[in-house]
Amino acid sequence: MRINLKQTKNPRVELTPQMSMYDSLGQEWRPFIMYFHTPNVRNSTVNTDELGFRITHFNGCDYSIGGDEVYSNEVSFIVGGSTAFGVGATSDRMTLPSLLSQKSGRLFLNLGGRAFGANQELILFSQVVHKYPRTNSVIIFSGLNELYLSRFRHSGGNFGCFYFAEQFKDAMNQSILSPKRKLLKFFLYPIFGEKIDYNRIRQKDLFKIINSSVGGSSSHKSNTQLFDVEYAVNQLKKNLFIWKKMSQSMPFLLRFVLQPVPQWCDKDCSEEEAVLFRFLEKEYDAHNIMSQLTKGLYLDYSGMVQKICADLGIEFCDMNKMLGDTVSAENWLFADRAHLTDQGNMVVSERLYKMEQD
């Protein structure tokens, strides 16, 4: 039955009911990569193995990264964040790795991590690739998270940022504070934020900080509103350098695909997309921030990433251009401003397959 888009109260629930499964998927803390998907999830939308990797469905069988055994056959990987993982797909069969496996006749394993940045993508690959001595190709389907995370560059510095970094930092700092210092932080953090090192602060230093703040604005504000293209590009550059060295030594074919974003594609929104975007930007701050990733910012970003790939000898593909040249407003490709619908995954997987054939 067709949904009346003008009357729906919650288009996310009515148009994309599968998203509730991803909302409830959860995560667990993991060494080095910080967090990963809950293992052994079983439902009609998303299934994970004993390590938390998503299942690839290929030739009537299920494949994933989990287990300690070495896989002796040839294999390829799709690496990236939540879009590579398949958030938005209605089932494991409709993810990019499953669809590309079916089209190509070659197994593509799902190495996507929800909310992963470039550092986490590289580390995750390094933890599993020893089991796959016959790696044929790696598609890095990524780029959006790194740009989004540039908003928090002041907390990450040269080492880069990751989602939930503030929660992790607060928990680590809180765990080593004495009871008195925890009480001190409880009262002073809303005013002074990170101006105070609560683990080392001495009484005389505390008085100096308080006195210096008298008469001025002492409220804690974080400069997190602006995207920093150069910062994001530098994070990608250092990781792509290592990716290239690995691809030469193993060897395997390496491609970087800049993932599609609705406002970056030369495509008018479908009716479903327009309704979803309006609702999400009204109800969720993160989606409203995503809408500020403008076309001009994208042109700067994609050009710089393309140059890095050219300098390193990595094949670069801009999926935004590939989609904008071939799809119309009637195509409902996006479940939100980051993730693809089943139709979106089918269209993108077809483009990836053609790229693999060239």
pLDDT digits 0-9 by tens, 135-175: 999 999 999 999 999 998 887 788 888 888 777 777 767 66
Listing DSSP states for 16-71 in one string gives: -TTHHHHHT--EEEETTTEEEEPTT--SSS--B-TTSPBPEEETTEEE-S-SSS--
pTM as predicted: 0.86
Q: What is the pLDDT of residues 339-358, one digit of tens each?
A: 999 999 999 999 999 988 87
Q: How is the beta sheet containing 108-112 ordered, strand by strand?
A: 108-112, 75-80, 135-142, 253-258, 315-318
Q: Which of 114, 292, 299, 153 is closest to 234 using CA atoms?
A: 153
Q: How many Å apart are CA 204 and CA 218, to the nearest integer? A: 19
127 and 173 share one domain = no
User: 199 near 173, Cβ under 8 Å?
Assistant: yes
- The reply to whether 209 falls in a domain is yes
Average pLDDT over residues 221-225: 44
296 pLDDT more than 90 = yes
Q: What integer pLDDT is reported at residue 13 of this predicted model? A: 95
In contact, 316 and 309? CB cutoff 8 Å: yes
| pLDDT surpasses 70 at 184 | no
Cβ–Cβ < 8 Å for 276, 335: yes
161 and 97 share one domain: no
| SS3 assignment, position 253 | strand
Q: Is residue 240 part of a domain?
A: no
> Is residue 286 very low, low, confident or very high in pLDDT (cuts 50, 70, 90)?
confident
The answer to the question of residue 141 being in a domain is: yes
CA 4 distance to own-chain centroid: 32
Q: The CATH number of the domain where 340 resides is what?
A: 3.40.50.1110
Please write the tens of the pLDDT for every residue from 25-34: 999 999 999 9
Closest residue by Cα to residue 66 from 111, 114, 7, 105:
111
Q: Which residue has the higher pLDDT, 241 or 154?
A: 241
Q: Return the DSSP state at 163.
A: T
Dist. CA 161–CA 103, nearest whole Å: 35
Domain housing 109: 22-153+248-266+302-357
Average pLDDT value for residue range 110-115? 98
Q: What angle do CA 112, 115, 117 make, to 5 degrees?
A: 80
Query: Percent of the chain beyond pLDDT 90?
Result: 69
Concatenate the DSSP letters of all residues of 76-125 into one string: EEEEESHHHHTTT-SSGGGSHHHHHHHHHSS-EEEEE-TT--HHHHHHHH
Is residue 336 a part of any domain in this protein? Answer: yes
Looking at the structure, do residues 114 and 161 belong to the same domain, yes or no? no
Inter-residue contact 316 to 305 (CB < 8 Å): yes
Q: What share of the chain in percent tops pLDDT 70?
A: 84
pLDDT of 133 higher than 90 = yes
Mean pLDDT of 85-93: 98
Same domain, yes or no: 139 and 258:
yes
- pLDDT computed for residue 190 by the predictor: 66
Query: Is residue 210 pLDDT above 90, yes or no?
Result: no
CA distance 330 to 313: 37
Q: What pLDDT score was predicted for residue 213?
A: 53
Total structural domains within the chain: 2
Give residue 4's pLDDT.
Answer: 65
Kind and range of the H or E run holding 224: none
Whether residue 147 is contained in a domain is answered as yes
Q: Do 56 and 144 reside in the same domain of the chain? A: yes
pLDDT > 80? residue 260: yes
Q: What is the reported pLDDT for 171?
A: 72
Question: What pLDDT shows up at residue 154?
Answer: 81
Helix (H), strand (E) at residue 358: none
pLDDT of the residue at 217? 41
pLDDT, residue 158, reads 87
pLDDT for res 224: 42
pLDDT at 83 over 70: yes
Tell whether the model's pLDDT for residue 60 goes beyond 90.
Answer: yes
pLDDT at 344: 97
Q: What are phi and psi of 204, to 5 degrees?
A: -65, -35
**94 and 42 assigned to the same domain:** yes
Residue 206: the pLDDT is 59
Residue identified by tokens 């069969």 is: 93
